[in-house]
Amino acid sequence: MKAVHEYRHAPAHRGLEAQKLRVLSVDGGSLAQRVGLKPGDVIEEIDGAPLLDVIDFQFRAAAIGRRTTIKTQDRSISFVRREWESFGLEFEPIEPMTCANQCVFCFVHQNPKHVRRSLHIKDEDYRLSFLFGNYLTLTNVDEPEMDRIIAQRLSPLYISIHATEPDLRARLLGISEYDGVMEKIERLASAGITLHGQVVLCPGLNDGPHLDRTIGDLVKLHPGVDSLAIVPVGLTGHRKSLP
């Protein structure tokens, strides 16, 4: 299966309704072709369970040698997947879930106006972190999403931490109160999810003793927190009305 990562053809999304899982193409000689799936089909359920996205499809369709039933927009298809048989499906691009934070150093806010639309999308999507290594803050990840990450073992994930001190992290992320990131990190690490951290280093804000504390707090969670990148802040000439 192919998961497409291209913002230019995928609008940002964080609504209550899941994106439809629409088939773009079917490989010749694949399981999908054998059972009669075709471009334009929308796969809604597997064995009676509604689907969230391509990752959910892969997780639920992984059974070998067991009868599985797919429901599309107009029919039900039952099949038994053979060992080593590829599904051979390509779905529409994942619509990236978006970030509600207002980070003081956000690079998206520093882009010129007249650039392609994808450069103005503030993605905050654990699925893109798992699939492609995108960083997310975990601020906007809710309880059902945390449960799903653990249940489907979406590992590794890449986490923007910036500071482990609650008040300082809230200030850096431009949020009204601490978002419980360390509690989330500890929960994920204890469940066997590998995490790679990132700190955007802002002189006078989260450096010096603040950075020492951040590193010390995360070292305690190794090997669950497997690495930490220290990234110097980047500033552009397009910072109107920004800190």
Residue 140 sits in the same domain as residue 27: no
pLDDT tens digits in sequence order for the chain, 243 residues long: 555 544 444 555 655 577 889 999 999 999 999 999 999 999 999 999 999 898 999 899 888 899 999 999 999 999 999 988 888 999 988 888 888 899 999 988 888 988 887 788 888 999 999 998 999 999 989 999 999 999 999 999 999 999 999 999 999 999 999 999 999 999 999 999 999 999 999 999 999 999 999 999 999 999 999 999 999 999 999 887 777
Q: Give the other-Cβ count within 10 Å of 98's Cβ.
A: 15
Q: Cα separation of 105 and 235, whole Å?
A: 8
With a pLDDT cut of 70, the percent of the chain lying above it is 93
Q: Judge contact between 139 and 124, C-beta under 8 A.
A: yes
Q: Tens digit of pLDDT for each residue in 20-52?
A: 899 999 999 999 999 999 999 999 999 999 998
Domain count, the chain: 2
- DSSP E strands: which ranges in 33-156? 43-46, 49-50, 67-72, 76-80, 89-91, 135-136
> Is 241 inside a domain boundary?
no
* Residue 212: alpha-carbon gap to chain centroid: 28
> Is 11 inside a domain boundary?
no
Residue whose tokens read 């599309």:
72
CATH number at residue 24: 2.30.42.10
Comparing CA positions, the residue from 104, 217, 209, 197 lying closest to residue 156 is 197
Range of the domain at 168: 108-232
Q: Tens digit of pLDDT for each residue in 161-187?
A: 999 999 999 999 999 999 999 999 999
> Is 9 inside a domain boundary?
no
Gyration radius of the chain over CA positions:
20
> Is 3 inside a domain boundary?
no
Residue 86 sits in the same domain as residue 164: no
Q: Cα separation of 221 and 216, whole Å?
A: 9
> Is 5 inside a domain boundary?
no
Last residue of a domain, one of 65, 91, 117: 91
> Is 242 inside a domain boundary?
no
List, in order, residues 6 or more apart from 54 with CB less than 8 Å away.
Answer: 1, 3, 21, 91, 94
Sheet holding 195-201, edge to edge: 135-136, 157-160, 195-201, 225-232
CATH number at residue 195: 3.20.20.70
Residue 130 sits in the same domain as residue 187: yes
